[in-house]
Structure 1
C-alpha cells in the first residue's frame, strides 16, 4: 500500500508551504527517515523525511511550488502502485481547510473587542487602499510578470491573502478578479521583491525577506538605557533557593524574570502591546510574547501565547521548552507568529547595546545586553552595582519617543522592585 508524503504544518498559523527542493527523483528507492525534500513557510524551513520504505512513485508538487498544509506532495510505495488520491484523502483535505477557516474567523472575532483604529478614521478607505500590502509567492510573481498580469487586480487565496500559483492560473483562465478603477492607487512599495535573499539557503532567505519587509513598512527608532539589576539578582537567588527547598524543579533565569517584567509593563502600558497591519492598529489585552532564539544558521522567534496569564515558573518553562524545540527543529505545534512584542537577548555574546529590528506587525522589540558592573556614587558613598543595558526599538509611526521612554520607565520599576513581579 502506498504512503503519502504530506506538506506539514510548521506553525499554528501556517496555511500553506513551498516545496523548496526535492533531494530524490521519481523512481528512486528510499528508506524510512531519509531526507527526501525541503519545504518552507513564511518563517520556517524544514527537511521532510520519508515516512516509509519504498520507491518514490510520484512527485505531486514540484520544487518552487506552493501548496496548502496536509496536502500530498509525493507518494512512496511499490513500483506499479496507483498514486491517485482517493475520496477519503480529498475529504480530509476539505475538512482541514474548513477547520482552518473557522479558526481564523474565531481568532479575528476574539480580537475585535480590544481593537483600536488609527485616528484617521475619516480617511480609512483611502488609507487602506494606499497602505495595503500585496503578499505573493516568488513563483506566482514570475508567472504574473511573464504574462503581464497586474497583481493588484488578483485576489489571493493563500495565507494572509497571499497570491499563489493557483491564483495566477485562475486569472489566466478566467480573467482578472478586480476592476482597474478600484486599484488606481500606485503599486505598494512595501512588497518585498522576490530577488531579496536570492542565493541564500531557505531559512536565511526567509529572514532576509522578513527583515526587508519590516524595514520597508516601519519607521524604526531605538532608545537605550541601563537599569539597576542588583535587587533582581538578589530576588532571583532567593526565589531559586526557596523553590529548591520546596522540591520545585524550576530552572529560574534572569531571562524569565525579565520576561515577566516585560509582560507586566505591557499590561500597564498597552500602547506598546499592539499590532499594525493592513492599515489597522489593534491593541491587545492578551500578551503574546516572542522570544528570539538563535540557531546555527539563522534565527527563529517562537511565541509564548497568553504570557500575561503565566507565572514566573511557567514562563521559565515555556522559554526553555520552546527554545529547545526550535533548536531541535521540532516546530510542529509551536506558535511562530501573532506576537504582540518580542524580547531578543545578546547578553551571552557580551554585547551591550544594539538595534534590534521589529518583527513585522509588532510595535516594539526589546534588546537585552550583557550585564555590566559599574562603580557609582550613591548617598555620598561609592559602591558597585550591576546594570542591564536595554535597547528598545519601536515603530515611530505608531509611538513617539516619549511613549517608548515611558514604557522603559515602567519596565525599570519592575526590575528595580522585583517583588512586584509576584503580586
Structure 2
C-alpha cells in the first residue's frame, strides 16, 4: 500500500480522444511543485490539455516518458507527489488501487470540458463482437487484423478492450495473422508470419521482412526482431547502414532531414488519411461575385459601427445555406447519413502545430457582431495555443480560407465524420455577362468537396447556387440594409 502522504497525478476528464501524446513534463523528478502548478501537457485530436498538481510537495516519480503515446483514460496515473526523500510507489501498486486519491485529478474533474471519448470514430468490424466493450481504435485495429474481440481480455476502464490489448494479443502470437494472400503488404515474409507492429516498423524503416529472423510464437517476426535487425543485427546490415547514413532504400538519394510526426501533426495525418481512404471525394467549383457583399460590409462598419469582415458575412450565409440544405449539415457514421439540427461551422486556422479547426456553434442564429467576435476569439485562442478541447468539438461542416495563401481552388479533404467542406479562394476579378456584354467584377472561387456516398454532383450545384444567391444579393437577406 502506498503511503498516505503521496498524492497521485492522474489523467482527469478532458474531452480528448482515446489516445494522445504526453508532449511535455513541466516539472522534473526531484523538483518542488505547488498545488495548481502545471505538471504535464497532454495533446490529442488537435487540442492540448494541461495537467495540474493536486497538492504541494516534490515530484517523486514519472510513469510516462515525454513524447510517449498513451491511452487517455480517466484516472490513469502519470506521476506522484510527496515529501522530499520519500520513496515513490510502483506503477503496479497504483493501478491495483494503492495510494491516496485526494488528488483533484482522480475524480475526473478538469477545467477543460468534454466527455473524454472520441465518439463515433470507428465502425464495428466484422471480426469485432458487437457485445464486447472496446474503444473505437481497438475495434478498428481488430477489424484490420481480423481478430475476434471476444477472445481478448480488456485492461481499459470498466474492462474495455483497448488498442494496446489488441496489439498485445497479436504480439503474443495468438492473433498473429498468416497473410500469404496479401501480396501488397510491404511487411509480408516468405510465409507471411509477422505481427502487425513488426510490419509497420519494417515499412517505416524500409526493411524487407523476408530478411528478418522471427523469434515470436511459431517463428513469427515481432517488432523487437525488426528493431534488432535495423540496429545492425541483420544478415548484412544494409538497411541499418542506409538508415545511419541518411540514404533512402534508393541509394541514389540522400535524406537531409527526417522529421517524425508527433502530437497534433500525427493526429491530423491519421484522421485525414482515414478520410481520404474511406470517403469518395468529389469537388465542384463556382466563381461568385462579392461586390454587393463588400458594399453591405462597408455599410455595416460605417453606419452601424459593426466590426465584421467579409469572412464573417460568408460564414453567416454558409449557415443560412446549411439551414436550406440540411443534407450538407450532417455526419456519415455506421452506414447512416445523419442530418443534424445544430449548425456548427468549423473554421480552419493555420497554426504552428498544423491545421486546427475550432467550431463556431449556432451560426445562423448569431447576430453578425456576435459571430465576428466568436470567430476572432477562437482564431486567437488557436494561434496562442490556448484553445480548449471543447472549442474543437461538435462541428457539422467546415470552411477553410485558402485565399489567404493567394490560392483560388483547393481540393480539400473532408473532416470526418462530416460530409462536406468548403474552401474560399482569393478575391480576384471574374468575368460577368450583363445584357450581352462581358465585363469584370470582384469575386471569389468557392470549392465544395463532398462525400459521394451521400451527396451527388447535383447536390453540390444546388449548394453553390444557393450560396451564390445569398452572396450576390445580400440585401435580400438583410431587410434593413
Interval of TM-score (by shorter of Structure 1 and Structure 2): 0.7 to 0.9
Structure 1 gaps of 5+ residues are: 109-126, 177-190, 245-249
For residue 325 of structure 1, report the CA deviation from its aligned partner. 0.9
Cα separation, partners in 2 of 1:315 and 1:21, compared to 1, 3 Å: closer
1:104-115 aligned at under 5 Å gives the runs none
Name the residue aligned to 2:29. Answer: 27
Q: Distance in 2 between matches of 1:91 and 1:207?
A: 28
Distance 1:131 1:390, change over 3 A: farther
C-alpha distance in 2, partners of 1:152/1:417? 59
Match status 1:221 vs 2:282: yes
> 1:243 and 2:247 equivalent?
no
Bigger RCO (CA 8 Å, 6+ sep): 1
Query: Which is richer in helix?
Result: 1
Q: Secondary structure at the match of 2:265?
A: helix
Match of 1:278 among 312, 334, 343: 334
Work out whether 1:232 is the aligned partner of 2:234: no
The answer (yes or no) to whether the contact 1:56–1:74 under 8 Å persists in 2 is: yes
Instruction: Confirm whether residue 79 of structure 1 aligns to residue 81 of structure 2.
Output: no
Change (3 A) 1:320 1:52: farther
Structure 1 residues 21 and 199, CA, compared in 2 at 3 Å: closer, same or farther? same
Native 8 Å contact 2:37 2:53 kept in 1: yes
In structure 2, what is the equivalent of residue 342 of structure 1?
398
Structure 1: distance between partners of 2:153 and 2:322: 36
Determine the C-alpha separation between the residues in 2 that align with 1:377 and 1:131: 59
Say whether residues 1:210 and 2:253 are aligned partners. Answer: no
Q: Residues 151, 209 of structure 1: CA spacing in aligned structure 2 closer, same or farther, 3 A cutoff? A: farther
**2:27–2:40 Cα contact (<8 Å) kept:** no
1:251-330 matches, within 5 Å, as 251-330=307-386
Shift of 1:41: 1.9
In 2, Cα distance between the equivalents of 1:204 and 1:220? 22
Deviation at 1:137, TM superposition (A): 6.8
SS at match of 1:213: helix
The reply on whether 1:372 has 2:428 as its aligned counterpart is yes
The alpha carbon displacement at 1:136 in A equals 2.2
The answer (yes or no) to whether the contact 2:29–2:62 under 8 Å persists in 1 is no
Aligned length: 375
> Does residue 73 of structure 2 align to residue 68 of structure 1?
yes
Residues 306-345 of structure 1, C-alpha deviations (whole Å, 9 max, x = no match)? 2232122211111111111111111225331331100000
When residues 375 and 288 of structure 1 are mapped into structure 2, their CA distance, relative to the original with a 3 A threshold, is: closer
Between 1:344-353 and 1:383-392, the stretch displaced more is 383-392
The equivalent residue for 2:137 is 136
The worse-fitting range, judged by mean Cα deviation, of 295-304 and 78-87 is: 78-87
CA distance 1:94–1:21, shift in 2 (3 Å): closer
